[in-house]
Structure 1
Amino acid sequence: MGLPSAIVAVGEVLAKKRTSQEWETVLRDVKLLIDRGQPVEQIVSQKSISDLIFDDLPYHLKPCFLYLGLFPKGSKIEVEHLCLQWMAEGMISRDDGQENGTMMDLAESYLSELVQRKMVEVEKEETPSLRKYRSCSVHEDMHDHCSRKGEEYFFMVLVKRSSNSLPLTTNPARRMALHLGKEEDRSSVDELRNEKVDHLRSLLLLSSQDLQVKLEWPRRMFKRYRMLRVLTFERVDFQERGLPRGMTWPIYLRYLSFKGCILGVLPSSIGGLSFLETLDLRVSSQIIIPNVLRKLGKLVYLYLPLEFKMQNNGKLYLKSLKEIELLQNFDTGMCNVADLFKMKRLRHLSTTVEGILGDLEQIVHRMVMTSENTAVSIKVKNFDCYTEERHSVFRKLLECKTLHTLHMDGHLGQIPLHDKITTTLTGIVLIGSELKEDPMATLDKLPELQVLVLQDNAFAGEKMICVKSGFKKLKRLELLTLRFLETWEVEKGSMPVLSILAVKNCEKLRILPDGLRNRFRGITFDIVSEHISKDGFRLKESGPGTSAFLYEDLNSRYLPTRI
C-alpha cells in the first residue's frame, strides 16, 4: 500500500538537507502546518511555510499582520493602541463592519482572525468589558518572516543605521520604526530629519528598554513629513528642553502617543492638529497641558495623564470634543464634570472623583443617561458616607448598569443587597469601608465579578464565609490589612476559577480555609503573615517570608486606568 503521502513529502525534503539546523526548520514547518490544520504535503512547495501562510491571508489582513513586524521581536504590543494605529492608517475597512459595531470592534475582529490562523498570540484582559485582548505578539516562528516580508511592502525597521546604509529616499518605506537603544539616538533622528520622506505614513520611535531614552527633538523635524498619519514616542525622555514650542506638526496626523515619555510641557501648537483622532498623554512624569485640546474637534480617543497641571491653574476645557468615544483618566479635580454631558458618543469612561458630593452626583447622573453598551470605571477617593445624603449617592452609583469597575475609598458601614447592585460589575476595590456585616454574602452573588480587593479594614467584622455557590467567575481575591478578621470559611465549590489569592497583614487570621488549602495546585498564593501556617502549600520562595507571586496593585493597573 506504500507510505502515507505526508511521510513521503517530509522524506523528500529532508533528503536535500545537510545540517541539523535545516532539519529543525523542516520540523518547525511541519508543526506550523499541523497547528493550522493544513496538509503536511505542502512542505514540498518551493515557498517556505511562512510564505504559504502569508499568501493564504485575505488581502485586508496582510498589512495588519505586517504592521506587527515594526515592533521589537518578543515585545508585547498593547492591542487597543495597535487597533487605533491600524484605523489611523486606513487599514480597517468600514465596509466589513457590523451595523451596531464600532471601528474598534472591527479592528479587534481582524486581530482575532490572525489569532485563529496561529500567526499571533494574545493575552486576554483579566476583567474584559469593551476589549477582549490586552496585548499581543507575533508568533515566534513568524516574526522574522513578518519583518522580511514587510520590506517588500514598504515597511522598514531601523535598529542602528550604519555609514554604508542606503538613503531612505532609495527605499520609499511608508511605515517605519526606529528602535532606540540605551544611548541617545540623535544621529538616527538627524538622518530622518535631513531626508525627504513625503511618502511616510507611520513613524514609531520605540524603546526596547525599561527606561526612557534621552532625545532632543528638532524643531523643524516634520517639515517634510506631509503624509504622516501615525506618530508614536515610547519611553522617550525629552529632557528639560522638551518639545520646541513652535514646532511644526504633520497636519494630517491622526494618531499621536507620548505614552511612558518624560515631557514637562505639551506644546500649544498641538491644537492645530485638526485631523487628530487619538491622543495619548499618559506620560511617566507630571506634565503641564495648555488649554488647547478643545480645538481637536475630531478627537475620538483621549488618554489623559494620571497627573497634570494647567498653565493658569484652571480646569481643562473639553466641552467641544463631541466625537469622543473613549476618555481615560478624567479627573473631576482638573476637568469640568459638565463637559461629559456634551459627549453623546462616549462608550468608555475612566474617571476619578476626589470626595466632592456634587461631582459624584453629576457623574452618576451622566451614567444613568448613557446607553448600556458603555463601560465606566470609577475611582472615588476620600468619600466617607456618614450621612444618608452621601450614602444614597453611593447606592445610586451601584445601581448604574454601565458600571464595570469600582474603586471606593472611604467609610460605608454597609452595602446594599445584591439585587440593588448592577450585574455588570467585573472588579471591586473597597478601602476603609468599615463594613459591619460580612460583604461576601452580597458580593458572591454578582454574576460577572472577577476581581475583588478588600483593604484597610474594608470589613470590620471577625468572621467571613464564602458559600459553595458563590463567586462563580472570581479570578483574583486580595485581603489586605483586615485587622479584625479572625475566621474565614470557604465551602467546597466556592470560587471555582480562583487563580490568584493575596492575604497580607491580617494579624488575627491564623490559618487559611480548608477549601483553599486543598486546591493549592490551582491557585497562586501571596501570603504575608507570621501566623498562617504554610504546611501543605507549595510556595516557591523568592525571599525571606515572601512567595513567588509578584503582587501588582490592582488600584493602579485596573481601576480606573483600565477596564
Structure 2
Amino acid sequence: MRRRGGGQDGRVLDVLALSFPDLSYQLKACFLYLGNYPKDFDINVERLCQLWIAEGFISQEERGEDKTMMDVAERYMGELAQRIGFTKLPSSIGNLRHLQTLDLRTSYHGEISVPNVLWKMEGLAYLYLPFGYICTEGKLQVDGLRNLETVQNLALDVVHVRDLFTLPNLRRLANVRVKEKLKDLTMVNKYILNSNHQLQHTSITIQICDLRSKDELSLLRQLLGCVCLVELSIDGIIGKLPQYEHQLLCPSLTTLVLKYSLLEEDPMATLEKLPNLRNLSLFSYAFVGKEMICSAHGFPHLV
C-alpha cells in the first residue's frame, strides 16, 4: 500500500493507504482479493460477496441472530466503499422542505448512511430509497409526508410500516421488503387492502424463512386478492400454494418470483390461471416435486 500514482487510480490508492493498516483482518483480506480483477473490470457485487464467503473471509461470529453470511459480506463491502469516498447523506438535506424528488438509488448495494430527517421534507412527492442497507438513527421516519406519491425500496426493517397509514396520496409503492417479521406482513396487508388508500401499483418482496403456517398462507391468499398488487417475490418455504376461488385470483399481478418455496405439488394448475401474469421465475428449490404440467390454454399473457 505504499505505491503512489497519478489520476484517479493514484487518488484511490492514496486514500486507502491512509487507512489500510487500521482495517480488520477480514477487511484486509477482502480488499486484497480485489487484486484478482483487471483494471476497469465491472465487478458484480453479489458475486464478489459470495466469493468472499467461499474463501472464508467472512466472520461467522459477526452474523448475529437475524443476519446471514451475505448480510455480513455486504456490510464489509459498505465499509470498504466508505474508505474510498462513497454514499453519506448530510442531515442538512432535511432543510429542503420544498424538494419534490429525492433519488438515493445507486449501483452500490452496501450500507448507506441516511439521516433520519426525511419526514421534514414536506414537499416530497417521489422518494427512491437505496436498495442496499440503510444506516440511520432508529427507524427511518417517513410519516406525515402528505404529498408523497411514490416510494421505492421500502425495507420494513428500516422504516416503520405504520408510517404508510400517514401517506394519504401514495399511489406507487414499489419493492416493499418484508424480512422475517410476520407482523410487518400483516400490517402491509392491512394497508394495501384498505379501500381508503390511493394505491395503483404495489410490488412486494417477502423474505420469511417459513410461510407454511395457516396464518401465513392466509396472508398470502389475501395478497393475491389485492387489485393493486403488480409484482410479488417470495423467498421462503411455502410447501403448497394457497387455495383460491378463481374469481379471487389477483387480476393485476404481472410478475411472480418464487425462491426456496419447496413446492411439492404441481403449482401450474393454480399459477396458469393468473389472468395477467407475464413473468414467472422459479429459482433454487422453488419446486421439488416430480413434474409440472401446463395446459394448452394456461398463462394467456406469459412472455
TM-score, with structure 2 as normaliser: 0.68
- Whether 2:277 is the aligned partner of 1:449: answer yes
- In structure 2, the residue matched to 1:327 is 151
Match of 1:305 among 130, 136, 157: 130
| Residue aligning to 1:352 | 177
Aligned residue for 2:13? none
Aligned pair in 2 of structure 1 residues 329, 183: CA closer, same or farther (>3 Å)?
Answer: same
Partner of 2:89, secondary structure, is coil
- Could you tell me whether the CA contact under 8 Å between 2:128 and 2:152 is conserved in 1? yes
Distance 1:426 1:311, change over 3 A: closer
Alpha carbons 1:352, 1:380 under 8 Å: kept: yes
Structure-1 residue corresponding to 2:290:
462
What is the count of residue pairs matched by the alignment?
A: 225
User: Structure 2: how far apart are the matches of 1:465 and 1:311?
Assistant: 48
Deviation at 1:241, TM superposition (A): 8.2
Q: Which of 223, 226, 229 is the aligned partner of 1:403?
A: 229
Q: Which residue is equivalent to 2:68?
A: none
Q: Once the 2 structures are TM-superposed, how far is the Cα of residue 383 of structure 1 from its aligned partner?
A: 4.1
Q: Is the 8 A contact 1:356 1:383 kept in 2?
A: no
Distance 2:285 2:133 in 1: 31
What residue in structure 2 maps to residue 160 of structure 1? Answer: none
In structure 2, distance between residues paired with 1:344 and 1:294: 14
Residue number in structure 2 paired with 1:491: none
Residues 214-240 of structure 1 show CA distances to partners (whole Å, capped at 9, x for unaligned) of xxxxxxxxxxxxxxxxxxxxxxxx975
What secondary structure, in the 3-state scheme, does the structure 1 residue paired with 2:188 have? helix
CA change 1:385–1:373 in 2 (3 A) is closer
Deviation at 1:373, TM superposition (A): 5.5
> Are 1:316 and 2:144 counterparts?
no
Query: What CA deviation, in whole Å up to 9, does each residue of 1:13-37 have, x standing for no partner?
Result: xxxxxxxxxxxxxxxxxxxxxxxxx
The 8 Å contact of residues 231 and 255 in structure 2, kept in 1 or not, is answered as yes
Deviations, residues 103-150 of structure 1 (Å, cap 9, x unaligned): xxxxxxxxxxxxxxxxxxxxxxxxxxxxxxxxxxxxxxxxxxxxxxxx
What is the distance in 1 between the residues matched to 2:122 and 2:41? 34
Partner of 2:299: 471
Match of 1:366 among 176, 191, 198: 191
Structure 1: gaps of 5 or more residues: 1-181, 185-208, 212-237, 243-261, 476-563
Provide Cα deviations, 1:157-186, integer angstroms capped at 9, x if missing partner: xxxxxxxxxxxxxxxxxxxxxxxxx959xx
Distance 2:198 2:275 in 1: 17
Counterpart of 1:268, as a letter, is S
Displacement of 1:424 = 0.7
**Which stretches of structure 1, 4 residues or more, deviate above 3 A after TM superposition?**
238-242, 308-312, 370-373, 417-420
Q: 1:384-404: per-residue Cα shift (whole Å, max 9, x none)?
A: 123212221121111111111
Report the 3-state secondary structure (helix = DSSP H, G, I; strand = E; otherwise coil) of the residue aligned with 1:464.
coil
Residue in 2 that maps onto 1:420: 248
Instruction: Name the SS of the counterpart of 2:119 in structure 1.
Output: helix
Which of 310, 334, 337 aligns to 2:161? It is 337
In structure 2, the residue matched to 1:389 is: 215
Structure possessing the higher radius of gyration over alpha carbons? 1
Residue in structure 2 matched with residue 93 of structure 1 by the alignment:
none
Displacement of 1:440 after TM fit?
1.0
**1:450 maps to amino acid:** R
Counterpart amino acid of 1:277? Q
Per the alignment, residue 277 of structure 1 pairs with 100
Aligned CA-pair RMSD: 2.5
Q: Deviations over 1:496-546 (max 9, x none)?
A: xxxxxxxxxxxxxxxxxxxxxxxxxxxxxxxxxxxxxxxxxxxxxxxxxxx
Q: Point out the structure with the larger helix share.
A: 2
Alignment of 1:163-202 (within 5 A): none
> Distance in 2 between the 1:367 and 1:445 partners?
22
Amino acid at match of 1:336: H
1:258 maps to which residue? none
Alpha-carbon separation, structure 1, partners of 2:90 and 2:217: 43
Given that residues 289 and 308 in structure 1 are in contact (C-alpha distance below 8 angstroms), is that contact kept between their aligned partners in structure 2? no
In the TM superposition, residue 375 of structure 1 has moved relative to its aligned partner by: 0.7
The alpha-carbon distance between structure 1 residues 419 and 435, as it changes in their structure 2 partners (threshold 3 A), is: farther
C-alpha distance after superposition, 1:320-354 (max 9, x if no partner)? 21211100000000000000001111111120000
Tell me if the contact between 2:203 and 2:232 (Cα under 8 Å) persists in the aligned partners: yes
What residue identity is the alignment partner of 1:273?
L
Equivalent AA in structure 2 for residue 367 of structure 1: I
Written as runs of structure 1 = structure 2, the 5 A alignment for 1:503-518 is none
Separation (CA, whole Å) in 1 of partners of 2:211 and 2:145 = 34
Decide whether the 8 Å contact of 1:372 with 1:401 is kept in 2. Answer: no
For the structure 1 residues 303 and 472, does the alpha-carbon distance in structure 2 shift closer, same or farther, using more than 3 Å as the test?
A: same
Alpha-carbon distance in structure 2 between the residues aligned to 1:474 and 1:448: 8
What is the aligned partner in structure 1 of residue 75 from structure 2? Answer: none
- C-alpha distance after superposition, 1:374-421 (max 9, x if no partner): 110000002412321222112111111111100011121222234332
- What secondary structure sits across from 2:230 in the alignment? strand
CA deviations on 1:50-89 (whole Å, 9 max, x unpaired) are xxxxxxxxxxxxxxxxxxxxxxxxxxxxxxxxxxxxxxxx
Alignment of 1:510-529 (within 5 A): none
Q: Name the structure 1 match of 2:117.
A: 292
Give yes or no for contact 1:291–1:310 (8 Å, CA) kept in 2: no
Contact conserved, 2:192 with 2:199, CA < 8 A, in 1?
Answer: no
Q: 1:430 maps to what in 2? A: 258
Q: 1:436 to 1:286 in 2, by over 3 A?
A: same
Task: Please tell me whether residue 379 in structure 1 is matched to residue 199 in structure 2.
Answer: no
Taking a change above 3 Å as real, the CA distance of residues 372 and 346 of structure 1, as seen in their structure-2 partners, is closer
DSSP 3-state at the match of 1:461: coil
TM-score norm. by structure 1 comes to: 0.38
Report what 2:268 is aligned to: 440
Greater RCO, CA 8 A, separation 6+: 2
* Equivalent AA in structure 2 for residue 272 of structure 1: N
